[in-house]
Every structure is written in C-alpha cells, then in structure tokens.
Structure 1
Amino acid sequence: MGSGQSWKTAVASSLSAALAALRQLVGGFGTALLALALLVSIVLTAIACLAGVGLLLAPVFLRAVHALARRERARLARHGVEIIAPDPAPTRLLSALADDITRRELRWLATHATLGLLTGLLGLLLPLFAVRDISFPLLWPLAPAGSSSTSLGFGTADSWAQASVVPLLAVGWIAIILGLGPGLARLQSRPAVRLLAAGPGTDLTLRIAELTATRAAALDAHAVELRRIERSLHDGTQNRLVSVTVLLGAARRMVARDPAGAEELLERAQSAAEQALSELRAVARGILPPVLADRGLAGALSGLAANSAVPCRTDIDLPERCPASAEASAYFVVAEALTNVAKHSGAGNVAVTVRSRDGRLLVRIDDDGHGGADESGGSGLTGIRRRIAAHDGVLRLTSPPGGPTVLEVEFPCGS
C-alpha cells in the first residue's frame, strides 16, 4: 500500500513539474519574441547610427531593453526563480556602453532571442504534437488523401490499423515532456539568472531595507492578531465562563431550599455557556476560518458575500488551490473590506473579483459609495496593508470624493 501511494505521489509530482515547466517555457516564448523584435530593431538602429541618423532612437531602445529585462525578472519570479534586480541602468548612449548592467542585459537579449525562442517553441509545440498524434485515429477518416499521419510530417496512413499506430508517437512526446520539460525550463531561464541578476558589486541596501520592512510588517500584523484574539478571549469568552461558574455555584446552594430558583439559574448558566461557545467559534473563525479548508477560497468568499450587509456579487476564477496562508490573507482582505464598505461607504452595491494567474493572486473590491477612503481614518486599511506586506504584495486604493472606491490587492500565491 505504501509503495502504491509512493508511486502515485511520484507520478503526480512529475505531472505537476512538467505542466509548470510548460507554462514557464510558453511564457518565455512570449518574451523571446519581444526580445527578437527588439534585437532586430537595435541592429537596424546601430546600422543607422553608422550613417549618423539613428542616434536619437538609441535611448528609446535602451529603455525598451531595461523594461523587457524587468518583465523577464518578474515573469521568472512568478515561477519561483528569484532574480535580485540591479540598480537602474543609464539610458544615455555613451554611459550605457560603459555600463556593465546594460552590456549584460544586451547579452541576455541576444541569448534569449535565440536560445530562449528555441526552447520556448519546443514548450509550445511538444504538447500540440502530443495532442495531434494521440487524436489522429479519430481525425484520420477526415484527413485528405496522402496527408501526413504524424506531426513530424512523415508517413501516411492508408488503413485504420496504420492510423492506430500513430498514438504511440504521442506517448514519446509525453515522455519527452515529462523527462525534459523541467530541464528545458531551467535552460531557458539560465541566461537570465546569470546576466540579469545584480552583480557582486551592487549595493543591496535598498533590497535589504525592503525585506526588513516586510518582515517587520509581518511581525506587527502577527502581534496585532494575537492582541485581538487575547481581547476577544479575555473580554468575551472568559467573562461568560466566569458567569457560568457563578451561576452554577448559586444554583447548587439553592437547589435544596428553592428548586424553582435553582432551575432558573441553571437556565441562565446554560444560556451563558452557549454564548461563550458561540464566541469561541467566532474567535476560531477569525484565526483560520474552517470554511476555507472545507470549501476553498471561492466557497468561503461566496459565503462572505451572501452574509454581507451591502448587496455583493462575486466573480471568482481560481483554477487551483492556493497555499493556506495566501487563502487566509485573501479571505481577511475581503472580510475587512466588506466590513469597511458597510460601515463607512454608504454604498448600495459592492463587487468582489478574484483571479489567480501565473502564481499571483489578485483581489479587487469595487463599491459605489461616496469614496474618500483614507488609511489614516481608522478604516482597517492599515491592517490590510500590513497583512499583504507580509506576503511581499502590493495594495492599491482609488477612492476619490464622490466615489467609486476600488481596492486592489496583489500578492504571490505560489506553493
């Protein structure tokens, strides 16, 4: 039983790694196309510079190279390949030619436009070849006479028996994807890791300060949460349980001389115990709502919307589960935002949109209230920002006077 479970786990892990590699390769194919177009433009501009007519375009293309390099770092970060960005590079031609960062980014551009394009094309074509060959027996009767029976362009199928052999080639494509997919993804990203990262002489003070601030925000958010739980237990549940104890003691003393009074006290004690249990459940839901484990983030947010004081509609697209910490943070953001809308906005409607794309979770809350939301006004936005900062995420708030208010949150949700 243990070996069977281990085998299933290994297969699932291989499939997951292969799919992640294909997503990374296809994404790299997109940036490789941009790199190729930019490389051709730079070569043409360099030729024009020899004639003295392309110098004005050089800063534009240098900025485009830096922007594409930033995009590639962000794309790889979504796939778990963290690349520390160097200091901003110059865009003036003479300064850029003497700048090591610019020279390394240009080397990456040339490599990605060739090697990255080739590996990305393989990541795009291999699954298409597999699907085409595995479905060929179904499509064979519709194929024109003399057409190729394989995705590689060789062989023809003149009978059902010959057509039924083609899916064996699809098995080979799938084996290549499972065996070589992760390696191709690493090969495609290797030039970026080597050339787009900060050099050994780069000052990382800003990045260290950013990580220190993020860690401090996470600790502050944790401390605030602990204080909230302590207050809830001390001011609510503990008082209820003390009341239960007092009432039970009084009922025990009265049971002999005044049974009716003792029964009344017991009823009050039962009511206080039920209230204490309800408050304990509320505290537990505040720590990590059980509905997240039972129904996932989509079901939990639908429950929040159904219980919202302001009519709320949801648009949730989550192809797969996020880590528990990310789901809990997204749930907290939406719960706090809906509370703020009900208390402060005067809105008639609110919309919650949630998307999970490329390892990033995006949460957007729109309301048609009077606007004017401000973090300094004690509206709970500070708590949201601290919790998101703990995930190295960002919060964007648009709330002009008169409304509407749009709260957007984005943070990593990769495993």
Structure 2
Amino acid sequence: MRTRPLRIAFSPWPLRAFAYLASGAVVGAFTLAWLPLALLAGLAVLTPLAIHPLAALERRRIRLLGGPALPDPHRPPDGTGLAAWLRLRHSEAATWRELAYSVLHGTVLLAFDLVATLLALSPGLVLILVLKPDDPPPSPPAGGQAPAGLSDVVAPVLLLAFGMIVVVLAICYAVVLAAIAHAALAHLLLAPGEEATVRTLTRSRARLIDAFEVERRRIERDLHDGAQQRLLRLAITLGMARLEVRDNPEAAQSLIDQAAEQAKAALAELRELVRGIHPQVLTERGLPAALTELADSAATPLTIAIDVPHRLPSTVESAAYFVVAEALTNAVKHAKAHQIWVTGCLDGSTLVVEVRDNGVGGADPDSGTGLAGLVDRVDALAGTLILSSPPGGPTLLRLELPCSG
C-alpha cells in the first residue's frame, strides 16, 4: 500500500477493504458449510479437489485491494488424468497450506471478517437509530417560558457530527488494517513458497535466454538480407565508378551520385535496426525523450505524460521503453485502438508506467503477442506487469519496476 497514512481515509482503500472483508465473510460462510461435507464425502483422498477452487478464488479475490492476483503455487502434472493430478497435489506443500487456510477461513477468519464488516456498517446503523423519530416532540413548558435557544440545539448537533466524523475515520483505518491482515495471511499460505519462486524465476530466465537467441538470429538475418546487401551494391557501384572515372567522367559522376544514395539508404536501414535493439535517444536523453520520439513516429494518436525528474538505471529505462513499444504495437495491431495514453511517474523508488487504449481488448499473455516476453523481461528486474484487458476493452497495462536495490 503506497498511499500515505493520513490520506487513507479519503482514498479508495476503505471501500476496497470493505469489499474484501464483506466478500471474505460470504466465502468463509460457504467454506464452513462446504469443506466438512467435501472432506467427509471424499474421505480426505480428494482433499485437493475440495480446496483447490476455494484457494483459487481467494488468490483472485485479493485483487479487490487493488493489486494483482496471487500466482498459482502448483506445478503442472507430468501425466494426464485425475490420478496424476491428485498424486502431484498430495505431494505438494502448497496443497496443505491451502487446506490450513481454508480451515482458518471457515472459522477464525469468518468471525474476523464478520466483525470487521459489522464495524464498517456500525456508523450508519447508529445514525439511523439516533435520527429515528421514536418520541414525539416535547410540549412547551408550562408558564409560557420561551423555548430553548438556537445554541442549545446546534451545540449538541455539532458535537454529534464531530464525534461521528472521528468515529468514521477511526473505523476506516481499522477496516483497512483488518483487510491488510487478512490479505497478509492469504499471501503467506496461498502464494508460492521460496522453492516455487526459484523454479518460476529459473523458467523465466530460460525463456528470456531463448528470446535473446531468437532476437540475435533476427538481427543477423536483417543485417544479411538488408544492410549487407545494400553495402554490397554500394561497393559494386563504387567499383564501376572507379573504372569509368578516367574514360567517362560523366558516367562516373552519375555512379558516384547513385552510390551516395545507396549509402544513405544503408545508413537509414542500420539506424532503424539499431533503434530496434536500443534507441540512441534512450541512451543520450533518457526515457521521457525516447517515449516522446516513439509517439512522434506512431500512426495512432498517442498521448505521453511521463514525470520522471532524473535519469533512471539503464536497465529500468530499457525495460520500460520496450514494454511501452510492445504495448503500442499490440494496441494498434491486435486491439485496433484509435487512441492510446501513456503515463508514468516515480512512486518512491518504483517506476510506475501505465498504457491505456480504447481498443477491443481481449489481450492474452499466452497468445503469442509478445506479452510473455515482456513478463520475462520484467521478472528479471523483480518488477510486476499487470494486464487488464476484458473483451470489448479497454486495455490497461501497468508496469512497476524497482529503481534501486
């Protein structure tokens, strides 16, 4: 949570926390009813089948707090069929952590979420009871005395309002802390452990090495089929000009002019190739200037708003640039977007970049659109890449990269 503590009560956090706790109470009640029946019916052999959907739901439900879903800690089974799946799940520590979480969710966390939800609703309930007109208005006092003054009425109302504000603020902080505590326990028991994280990073780095090898071959092919052929034609043209320079100066001059154009074309192609590897403007002037140049060459209307007061580590700038470049390509090529917005800023020591478009959505990192390679590139820098792209759009890609440590 990066919101400053004094601003939490006026941010979306209290509503997010309430939604997380209230839905947690509902899921906890279902777990309390479902889990004992499932375990008794399956005689504990089918335990993974009973708890897997509940754990998967909890890993996704944590997105209500504004962050990404927790990654799945399970390995894919080597064989096919239910028996192979059950054998693997029974051998994994993650399965038994999920069982422990499910038992806690159906008991302790259920009560915890219910109390926190009722606490969040209590100011409204108290206000309804206070304002409910149960008693008739008091009769005028005997003897014709004047009614109470305005100050005698306003002072209690102001005092009540001030007290309600203080109580509401305190409850906002309490509800947020309760949601954070629940989410921390979910992260502890449902997220991948250290071994799973190491396996994930190993696979990610292996994919990254493969991607670099593919990129190296592409560069080699582009050099051979493009710039190398242009330079070969340039050498032939200059050789012909050298043969003509003594006997036919006019023809030699024409060949030299032709060679000059060929040299310009070869230089332009080399610059374009180098830009695909690492733009020179990114090295010389930094990320904002490189993204501005990218926007100038974009065919789709693109709005850039990057607020970075100083240069960032070169690895961070490079990763952010290529994530944005790939996102722009996907937005135009696959999402058919007509408008794209790119924003970026430093949040503490973390670079946060968001790319939004008004396309048709439906982006999938596993569909071969280049997003999987971006995930591996970001994982190598201990960053996060969050994609929201429902069918029909819009698409939001959020990149977070630590700039220190």
TM-score (norm 2): 0.51
Flag structure 1 segments of 5+ consecutive residues without an equivalent.
1-23, 32-55, 57-62, 68-85, 98-197
* Further displaced range: 238-247 or 388-397: 388-397
Match 1:324 to one of 314, 320, 331: 314
Contact 1:220 1:386 in 2 (8 A): no
Mapped partners of 1:283, 1:327: distance in 2:
19
Match 1:362 to one of 352, 355, 365: 352
Look up the equivalent residue of 1:234 and give its one-letter code.
Answer: H
Look up the equivalent residue of 2:371 and give its one-letter code.
Answer: L
Mapped partners of 1:352, 1:292: distance in 2:
17
After TM superposition, give the deviation of residue 267 of structure 1 in Å: 1.5
Look up the equivalent residue of 1:278 and give its one-letter code.
Answer: A
Residue 240 of structure 1 corresponds to 230
Contact 2:291 2:321 in 1 (8 A): yes
Residue 395 of structure 1 corresponds to 385
Residues 213 and 355 of structure 1: CA distance in aligned 2, closer, same or farther (over 3 Å):
farther
Q: Deviations over 1:234-287 (max 9, x none)?
A: 221111111111111112222233332222221121111111112222233333
Mapped partners of 2:320, 2:284: distance in 1:
16
Mapping 1:53-72, distance limit 5 Å: none
Residue 264 of structure 1 corresponds to 254
Contact 2:201 2:379 in 1 (8 A): no
Contact 2:340 2:355 in 1 (8 A): yes
Contact 2:385 2:397 in 1 (8 A): yes
Contact 1:341 1:367 in 2 (8 A): yes
Look up the equivalent residue of 2:291 and give its one-letter code.
Answer: L
2:305 equivalent to 1:278: no
| SS in structure 1 of the partner of residue 390 of structure 2 | coil
Residues 319 and 217 of structure 1: CA distance in aligned 2, closer, same or farther (over 3 Å):
farther
Match 2:204 to one of 214, 218, 228: 214
Residues 239 and 357 of structure 1: CA distance in aligned 2, closer, same or farther (over 3 Å):
same
Residue 215 of structure 2 corresponds to 225
Residue 336 of structure 1 corresponds to 326
After TM superposition, give the deviation of residue 336 of structure 1 in Å: 1.9
| SS in structure 2 of the partner of residue 219 of structure 1 | helix
2:294 equivalent to 1:294: no
Residues 305 and 243 of structure 1: CA distance in aligned 2, closer, same or farther (over 3 Å):
same
Percent of aligned positions that are identical: 43
Residue 49 of structure 2 corresponds to none
Flag structure 2 segments of 5+ consecutive residues without an equivalent.
9-31, 33-57, 63-92, 109-187
Contact 2:226 2:269 in 1 (8 A): yes
Residue 100 of structure 1 corresponds to none
Larger radius of gyration: 2
Contact 1:217 1:389 in 2 (8 A): no
Look up the equivalent residue of 1:246 and give its one-letter code.
Answer: I
Mapping 1:162-181, distance limit 5 Å: none
Q: Deviations over 1:176-231 (max 9, x none)?
A: xxxxxxxxxxxxxxxxxxxxxx9xxx974312202212321332232233223222
Mapping 1:1-400, distance limit 5 Å: 88=97, 90-91=100-101, 92=103, 204-375=194-365, 377-400=367-390
Q: What's the Cα RMSD here?
A: 3.9
Contact 1:313 1:351 in 2 (8 A): yes
Mapped partners of 1:349, 1:332: distance in 2:
19
Residues 336 and 315 of structure 1: CA distance in aligned 2, closer, same or farther (over 3 Å):
same
Mapped partners of 1:400, 1:332: distance in 2:
23
Mapped partners of 1:324, 1:246: distance in 2:
41
